[in-house]
Amino acid sequence: MIKIQQLSFSYPDGKNALTDINLSVYPGEKIGIVGANGAGKSTLLMHINGIFTGEGSVIIDGMECDRKHLEKIRARVGVVFQNPDDQLFSITVYDDVAYGPRYQGLPKEEIHSRVEKALAAVQMEGYADRNPYHLSGGEKKRIAIATVLSMNPDILVFDEPTAGLDPRARRELLELLGRLPQTLLIATHDLELVDQLTTRMIVMNAGKIVADGPGKELLQDQQLLFNNGLI
């Protein structure tokens, strides 16, 4: 579903963020991307739906991630940001979840159906008329996920999904993520999440992939975790 070849990226200030990234992702995979702050995890994820564009090749479902294919790719790849306030901007939950389908120009009945299904998927039925800014952190995370699910994506990308959550909200979010059928890529410091939800783990350091393999095996490599600022 995703094929990245020789991807490199530097920020406008000259800071190098990614160097020669090569990565293939197959349908249905659940992948944890781990690394210390500044390792390049979030920057890598932002290339998967064209938020950032670096040197190299990013192909999603056979389409080069470029301006020509950007709209189709963003319908297939849903990104859930670390801070849900970056995603929630409407007066009601309904309007936030409906934003993507409305942008696609779908009929009103289809939009309503997608909103209902997305809210049901994150167990937030009955919240459609609520103001997102009055919700708890865990509730906001769920609504942010619903805004992406309403687009019917094949791939879901999460940036630090458990950051800032209390233990109960974190547990409920993990249960939700475990039920999602889409291909998942999750950038996180939460090694327990990686152990529980993913089958493949990618370790990044200084903008490079330094390890890629079964999570259960890599999580047992204490030297690898230590060398890359994970313990």
Please, what are the domains in the chain? 28-51+76-227 (3.40.50.300)
What confidence tier does 111 reach under pLDDT thresholds 50, 70, 90? very high
Tokens coding 140: 């906001």
How high is the pLDDT of residue 180?
93
Whole-number Å distance between alpha carbons of 59 and 62? 6
- The pLDDT assigned to 170 comes to 93
Q: Tell me, what's the pLDDT at 96?
A: 97
Confidence of residue 216 (pLDDT cuts 50, 70, 90): very high
pTM of this prediction?
0.93
Which pLDDT score, from 0 to 100, does residue 41 have? 96
Q: How confident is the model at residue 201 (pLDDT cuts 50, 70, 90)?
A: very high
Name the average pLDDT for the chain: 95
- Given this model, what pLDDT does residue 198 score? 96
pLDDT tens digits for range 114-146:
999 999 999 999 999 999 999 999 999 999 999
- Phi, psi of 127, deg, nearest 5: -100, 5
Give the number of other Cβ atoms within 10 Å of residue 217's Cβ.
11
- In the structure encoding, which two tokens stand for residue 39, read together? 């390792």
Indicate the residue type of 172: E
Which amino acid is it at 169?
A: A
173: confidence class by pLDDT, cuts 50, 70, 90 = very high
- Express each pLDDT in 42-101 by its tens digit: 999 999 999 999 999 999 999 999 989 998 999 899 999 999 999 999 999 999 999 999
What's the rounded Cα separation, in Å, for the pair 33 and 42? 9
Confidence band for 149, pLDDT divided at 50, 70 and 90: very high
Q: What is the pLDDT of residue 125?
A: 94
Position with higher pLDDT, 29 vs 14 = 29
Q: Are 93 and 127 in contact (CB under 8 A)?
A: yes
Distance, in Å, from the CA atom of 215 to the CA atom of 164, rounded to the nearest integer, reads 24
Return the pLDDT at 175. 93
Beta-sheet strand order (sheet of 2-10): 16-25, 2-10, 55-60, 63-64
In percent, the amount of the chain with pLDDT more than 90 equals 96
* Residue 163 near residue 192 (C-beta atoms within 8 A): no
